[in-house]
Homo-oligomer: A and B are copies of this chain.
């Protein structure tokens, strides 16, 4: 306990707690607004940093999030370990077979996704350096190279997180985007290593050529020999060490070693843990439990800590130059989107997919900021351009999710619980026959919707008369389509005694859902019925639901039990 005093620890604990909770809350808000959680996490950091809290109360801000000193170092260390473990998780989820299958497209997208923005950035920065934010007296070629590199680098963590948030990660599209981002980033970081070497600050004096050679050799080894070795080791570890601590310890220490190796080579540590993750995740012997444990802990502790800490680093208000920010943003988007989309088209993707890929890979984030900060430290750029780069990084990330969603037009079916109206939950139904139950639930539903109960009751009852809605396992699902409804609404009543809904197993119904869908529901009704039936197939779930007294408890139960099964 030599270095850290109790006061240092106090600051570390407080700031971890505040960053973590603020990031989680903002992340939830972002998700509500159909944005990836990662954006909320970064914004939480900006609000807590010099841009807002630093203005409102400089004392609180410099106490909680000091820029220098022991506590600052520990926080920085924690967030660095955080991003390394986050990339391990991203790697675990990569499906190599998809990438091999689509190798041509990956190559085309990643090469043209780097070349186009790089060329555009180089030309713009050489031709109009001042407009691109060059400080007076900066070396024109170094600045131009930096600017070009900054535009062409992607943000693997942000892209991976965005794909996960949109539930696209494990799809072919998601894998292709991530593969392209990996290749793209590797090229980008190699450019950066060249740049650093030119500036004379390369890590450990390793020649650039060696850095490139080492990187390629390490990546190739991990994806061939390393992958097979891990596949052999996993059963042995599982058989001969404590489960699951043995496998988890192995995975986490390998991530550290991989990160150390790539840091030593001269590219960034995150590439090492990513490659370790890819190699591990490819083994059929890796159990889902291991993957899920790492994923859950990292996504809820290390990742928010890292993403929130980005916003702490500078004052985004004082250094904001709107014209510069807009210029950088536009040039960045044009180069990246057109480059990636063009590459994808060449590799014969459909136009729709090509555009979606362009916008997905357009997202920059942490990488951009780390690169910018290094350039700032070495006097290559000023704070104005740094802030413009961060804003560009955030804006492109913010654009990525909605753009991909609207281009692909893909709306994933939501679980029925998302549509449950809290006020239409009747924990103890008074009604004892079918007609009365429907009336009672329609009343509750009417209160929730602010519509007359009679209209609801009539349509549901008319539907019920055509065919009864009692299912097996004491479940009944009366339902109807209702004109003027914007989205499905679901009510639920529980009956202690059970009500005869003419179920085909002859049992009285005790868990009775009332489902109202819009007139043009595009198959949502069928999906909801199937989802409810699937959820309540488990007798345990039925028993637990019948005990529930409040809507919150009900929603919590269904959300958490569903995923326990998966």
Interface residues of A in 234-249 (CB under 8 A from B): 234-246, 248-249
Q: How far is the CA of A37 from the CA of B377 in the complex (A)?
A: 45
Identify which of A1-9, A99-107, A483-491, A498-506 touches chain B: A1-9
Please determine whether A253 and B2 come into contact, CB atoms closer than 8 angstroms: no
Binary flags per residue of A324-335, CB closer than 8 Å to B gives 1, else 0:
000000000000
A476 within 8 A of B: no
Known: A256-B16, A370-B1, A556-B285. A28 touches B269 (CB 8 A): no
A-B contact pairs, 8 of them (CB 8 A): A1-B313, A3-B73, A7-B204, A9-B269, A21-B249, A27-B245, A73-B77, A239-B552
Q: How far is the CA of A95 from the CA of B414 in the complex (A)?
A: 38
Please determine whether B287 and A297 come into contact, CB atoms closer than 8 angstroms: no
Binary flags per residue of A263-285, CB closer than 8 Å to B gives 1, else 0:
11000010000000000000001
- In the complex, given contacts A10-B260, A16-B81, A246-B300, what are 12 additional A-B residue pairs having Cβ atoms less than 8 angstroms apart? A1-B76, A9-B80, A10-B263, A13-B260, A24-B246, A237-B556, A239-B556, A248-B300, A288-B564, A289-B560, A289-B563, A292-B293
Known: A14-B260, A77-B4, A239-B555. A253 touches B560 (CB 8 A): no
Please determine whether A263 and B9 come into contact, CB atoms closer than 8 angstroms: yes
Q: How far is the CA of A14 from the CA of B262 in the complex (A)?
A: 11
Known: A1-B374, A72-B2, A74-B74. A269 touches B239 (CB 8 A): no
Please determine whether B84 and A242 come into contact, CB atoms closer than 8 angstroms: no
Binary flags per residue of A298-337, CB closer than 8 Å to B gives 1, else 0:
0111001000000001000000000000000000000000
Please determine whether A244 and B560 come into contact, CB atoms closer than 8 angstroms: yes
A129 within 8 A of B: no
Query: How close is A115's CB to chain B, nearest CB, in angstroms?
Result: 28
Please determine whether A245 and B300 come into contact, CB atoms closer than 8 angstroms: yes
Q: How far is the CA of A564 from the CA of B553 in the complex (A)?
A: 26
A373 within 8 A of B: yes
A411 within 8 A of B: no
How many identical chains are in the complex?
A: 2
Please determine whether A3 and B296 come into contact, CB atoms closer than 8 angstroms: no
Known: A68-B2, A252-B301, A296-B248. A238 touches B559 (CB 8 A): yes
A347 within 8 A of B: no
CB < 8 Å: which of B20, B374, B554 contacts A252? Answer: B20
A203 within 8 A of B: yes
Please determine whether A299 and B263 come into contact, CB atoms closer than 8 angstroms: no
Nearest 10 pairs between A and B by C-beta?
A: A74-B77, A17-B256, A238-B556, A239-B555, A248-B300, A24-B249, A13-B260, A297-B297, A235-B556, A21-B253
Please determine whether A12 and B249 come into contact, CB atoms closer than 8 angstroms: no
A31 within 8 A of B: yes
Q: How far is the CA of A76 from the CA of B564 in the complex (A)?
A: 36
Q: Could you tell me which A residues sit within 8 Å of B by CB distance?
A: 1-4, 6-7, 9-10, 12-14, 16-18, 20-21, 23-24, 27-28, 31, 37, 67-68, 70, 72-78, 80-81, 84, 203-204, 234-246, 248-250, 252-254, 256-257, 259-260, 263-264, 269, 285, 287-289, 292-294, 296-297, 299-301, 304, 313, 370, 373-374, 377, 550-557, 559-560, 563-564
For A242, list chain B residues within 8 Å (CB).
27-28, 31, 37
Known: A10-B260, A260-B10, A559-B238. A3 touches B68 (CB 8 A): yes
For A293, list chain B residues within 8 Å (CB).
292-293, 296-297
CB < 8 Å: which of B70, B81, B253 contacts A73? Answer: B70
Please determine whether A24 and B263 come into contact, CB atoms closer than 8 angstroms: no
Please determine whether A236 and B556 come into contact, CB atoms closer than 8 angstroms: yes
For A75, list chain B residues within 8 Å (CB).
77
For A555, list chain B residues within 8 Å (CB).
235, 238-240
Query: How close is A288's CB to chain B, nearest CB, in angstroms?
Result: 8
For A244, list chain B residues within 8 Å (CB).
296, 300, 560, 563
For A554, list chain B residues within 8 Å (CB).
239
Q: How far is the CA of A256 from the CA of B288 in the complex (A)?
A: 29
Please determine whether B560 and A256 come into contact, CB atoms closer than 8 angstroms: no
Query: How close is A450's CB to chain B, nearest CB, in angstroms?
Result: 22
For A370, list chain B residues within 8 Å (CB).
1
Q: How far is the CA of A67 from the CA of B563 in the complex (A)?
A: 45
Please determine whether A373 and B1 come into contact, CB atoms closer than 8 angstroms: yes
For A76, list chain B residues within 8 Å (CB).
1-4, 74
Q: How far is the CA of A294 from the CA of B294 in the complex (A)?
A: 10
For A7, list chain B residues within 8 Å (CB).
203-204
Q: How far is the CA of A293 from the CA of B301 in the complex (A)?
A: 12
For A72, list chain B residues within 8 Å (CB).
2-3
For A373, list chain B residues within 8 Å (CB).
1
Please determine whether B287 and A564 come into contact, CB atoms closer than 8 angstroms: yes
